[in-house]
Amino acid sequence: MPQSQTETVFFMLPEDIRGFWVELMSHGALNAAEPAIRSVFDAATAGMGRDNHQMQEHFAMLGPIAQCERIGRALARVLMIPFVSVLSSYIEETNDILVRISEVLETTRVTTRDGQEHSMELVLQPPGQGTHFILPPMIICVSDIAHLPDLALRDVLQSVYFKERILCTKAYLANASRVCWLLGSTEPMALERLGPKFKSVDLTGPHDPVIWPEDV
């Protein structure tokens, strides 16, 4: 993780972005799980109206892990923000989540309104402002949270519920106020621990499975 000054990046809103929503709907991707997925659609639509495309809601997704991840990837593609997939089985401590975020951002570039390309690589704040990072708007999908270590889950929840919105690791602090968390599980009891700030999305109901276009 490089130690240089972070830069503020605002994402472009392509003219065809709403057309992509129409494309998803034409494949049944957003209507198949109505009304389960409606809250996700509404949150993403609101995000498109913000300069940085930030989604301000968080979601507890009950259903197959693969479906949760495909939903997250599709949303990130629509909003043109980074998508980070975190497999709980590979997480031993909270810092592993931050490392995974860093790995994705190191290979992510965005184009700002002035047409300039910028790297999304994580950078430490200048000396005197603390040993911390500022995470850009992104979607982080943590799969199968029933197998996520308790301390790591606690730190994720603190980044949502505490006013400072900081994700704390043993070595670093990361401002996660622009992060949308998608926490998935096939076990309802695992999701009950997440609390009221996570909107429930049940993908196991009597409706047809959510089917996303293969190229998403």
Q: pLDDT by residue (tens digit) across 62-102?
A: 988 888 888 888 888 888 899 999 999 999 999 999 999 99
Q: How many CB atoms lie within 10 A of CB 146?
A: 15
Q: Which residues contact 162 (CB under 8 A, 6 or more apart)?
A: none
Residue 214 inside a domain? The answer is no
Alpha-helical runs (H) found in the chain:
17-26, 38-48, 65-79, 94-106, 150-161, 188-192
Q: Are 181 and 58 in contact (CB under 8 A)?
A: yes
Work out the mean pLDDT of the chain and round it to a whole number.
79
Is 10 part of a structural domain of the chain?
A: no
Q: What CATH number has the domain bearing residue 62?
A: 3.40.50.300
| Stated length of the chain | 216
Give domain status of residue 194, yes or no. yes
Count of structural domains within the chain = 1
pLDDT, tens digit (0-9, with 9 covering 90-100), for 13-61: 444 445 555 555 554 444 444 566 778 878 887 887 888 888 889 999 9
d(CA 122, CA 119): 9
Q: Is the pLDDT of residue 132 over 90?
A: no
Asked if the structure places residue 11 within a domain, the reply is: no
Cβ-contact 181, 142 below 8 angstroms: yes
Amino acid at the residue 31: N
166: left (phi over 0), alpha (psi -120 to 50) or beta: beta
Q: Are 193 and 185 in contact, with CB atoms under 8 Å apart? A: no
- Cα–Cα distance for residue pair 76/163, rounded to 1 Å: 25
- Residue 144: half-sphere exposure toward Cβ, Cα within 13 Å: 9
Interval 114-129 mean pLDDT: 74
Assess if residue 47 is contained within a domain: yes
CA distances to 21, 74, 79, 120 from 28, in Å: 11, 13, 19, 32
pLDDT tens string 157-170: 999 999 889 999 98
Q: Helix, strand or coil for residue 193?
A: coil
Give me the residue label for tokens 């996520």: 148
Residue 31 belongs to what domain range? 18-202
> What pLDDT score was predicted for residue 205?
65
Asked whether residue 163 is domain-assigned, the answer is yes
